[in-house]
Amino acid sequence: MLRGMTEVAVGAREPCPCGSGRRYKACHGRADRAGHRANDIVTRPFAGLTDECDWVALREIVPAATVPLNLRDRSADAAPITAATVLPLGWPAMVRTDGSVYLGLQSAPRSGDISRDLAAALVEALDSSPGSSVTPDAVPGPGLRLQDLLDDSPLEITVRSGFEFWGADMPDPDGELAASLERASAAVVPTVRLTSVAAAYWCRIGTRTHLRWVLPDSEEPLLDGLARLHAARDLGIGDGSRYVGAFRADGLVVPVWDLAPDAEAADVEEPATALRHKLDDALANLQPLSAAERRSRSGLLSRQVTLR
C-alpha cells in the first residue's frame, strides 16, 4: 500500500524511502543535511487539490504545458499566475517584466513534500520584483502548501509543442536563456491530452505511440481490477494496442499502453472511455481473484516501477 506520510530512519547509503531508486544521501537526505526533517516524505503531495491526477501528469509526464492558477483571497486585478511544466534553466519560478508569475512544476525537489516546495517557490515569486527569478535555494521549512494557496477551480490545461510561451518578456531573454529555450523545445515529444477521460495523455516518441494514464484509484484494488481485465484479455485500448506496465508517481498509479503506430489521440478517445467503464465494473467486483487473475496480477506487479 502507498503511504501518505511516513517517518523512517534511513542510512545515507540505503535506498531513499520516497521510491526514487537513488541513495538517501543523494535524494531527500540532502534536505536533511540542510536542517529540515526530510524523512517526512509525503508520497501523495497533490492529494486534496482539484484534478490531482492532472497535477501528477504535469509534474511527471507532460513535456510542455501551462495552466492558469487561482489563489484564494487574491484580487481580480492582480497579475496572472501560470503553472508551467518547465521554466528556463530549471527555475522553480520567475516573474516576467509585466509582473506575471510563472511556477515551474518540474523543478528539482528540495524537501520530502513537493507541494510545500512548489508553494514556497510561488510565495517567493509573489514577493519578488518584475524581471526576477526564483533560483533553487535552501530547503523550505514548515509553511504553506499548494492546498493552502489555491482555490478549487478545475485546471484549464494547454498542452504545448514547445516553450515559446516563455516569451521575450522574461528576465534576460538572450544568451543562456535562449539556448535553454532551444534545448528544451528540441526535447519535447508530441503530446495530446484526451478529452473523454481524465488525466490520459497520448504521445509519440520516435516511431512509437503510447498512452499514459494517471488513475485516481487506490493501488491495491486497482491492481485487482487491471488483473481481472488482463486475465480476460480485455486490457487493450483499441486495435493494435498492448498494455506494457505501470509506474507509481506522487502516490498514484500510471498505466502505460503501446498503441498502434499510426494511432492518433482521437482514435483512442472511444476505446479509453470503454476501458474506464470496464475497469469500474472490475473494481466493483469484490469476489476473490481466480487463479488466472492472480497470475495476471503477479505479472502486472512485476512490470511496475516507482518514479517518486
Tens-level pLDDT at each residue, the chain (308 residues): 222 333 344 555 666 655 555 665 566 555 444 444 445 789 999 999 999 999 999 999 999 999 999 998 776 668 899 999 999 888 999 999 899 999 999 998 888 999 999 999 999 999 999 989 998 777 777 889 999 999 999 999 999 999 888 875 555 555 677 777 778 888 899 999 999 999 999 999 999 999 999 999 999 999 999 999 999 999 999 999 999 999 999 999 999 999 999 999 999 999 999 999 999 999 999 999 999 999 999 999 988 776 65
191-306 CATH, one of 3.30.1460, 1.10.3470, 3.30.70, 3.30.750: 3.30.1460
Distance CA 23, CA 26 (A): 5
Distance CA 270, CA 276 (A): 10
Beta bridge partners of 105: none
pLDDT at 1: 28
Distance CA 183, CA 276 (A): 37
Beta strands across the sheet bearing 101-104: 132-134, 93-95, 101-104, 81-84, 65-69, 158-159
Distance CA 81, CA 124 (A): 13
Instruction: Name the one residue in this structure whose C-alpha cell is 509534474.
Output: 59
Instruction: Name the one residue in this structure whose C-alpha cell is 486585478.
Output: 77
pLDDT at 185: 82
Q: Cβ of 119: how many Cβ atoms within 10 Å?
A: 21
Distance CA 265, CA 241 (A): 13
**Sign (positive or negative) of CA dihedral 216, 219, 220, 223:** positive
288 burial level (CB within 10 Å; 0-12, 13-18, 19+):
exposed
Q: What is the pTM of this model?
A: 0.84
pLDDT at 179: 77
Distance CA 23, CA 33 (A): 14
Domain boundaries, given as residue ranges, for the chain: 1-43, 46-186, 191-306
Residue 143 corresponds to which cell in the numbers above?
509553511
User: Amino acid identity, residue 254?
Assistant: V
